[in-house]
Amino acid sequence: MTRREFERIVKEAVESLPPVLREKIVNVEVTVRESPDRRQTSEHGSGLYGLYEGVSLDRRTHDFAGALPDRITIFKRSIERDFPRREEMIKCIRETVIHEVGHFFGFDDDDLDRLGIG
């Protein structure tokens, strides 16, 4: 899959979120990278499909304004490696976006597993 197409699917996944959630995703940059960098790999392992970095909505205080954007990164190579069929890849991209958005809202991995989006 081309990078452009991969990025389009990521964008569509974000846009497909219910409006009530999408409207709350403010000051968050959603990007695609080929692979995690060394720091991300050492902190989270090498098999990452996506990563949320920032201060989750539930931990923000009234003086949070002016902060740099939070970041959700989707890692193209990991997904392509583990999901070679196009349909599976698209499903994984969408699930990964939803999972990382869940972290933005303050859910941890256990919470996301209980909700069926782990």
60-72: per-residue pLDDT in tens?
A: 766 666 677 899 9
CATH number, position 107: 3.30.2010.20
**Domain with 42 in it:** 3-114
Q: How much is the pLDDT for 52?
A: 94
**3-state SS track over the chain:** CCHHHHHHHHHHHHHCCCHHHHCCCCCEEEEEECCCCHHHHHHHCCCCCEEEECCCHHHCCCCCCCCCCEEEEEEHHHHHHHCCCHHHHHHHHHHHHHHHHHHHCCCCHHHHHHCCCC
What is the count of structural domains for the chain?
1
55 pLDDT more than 70: yes
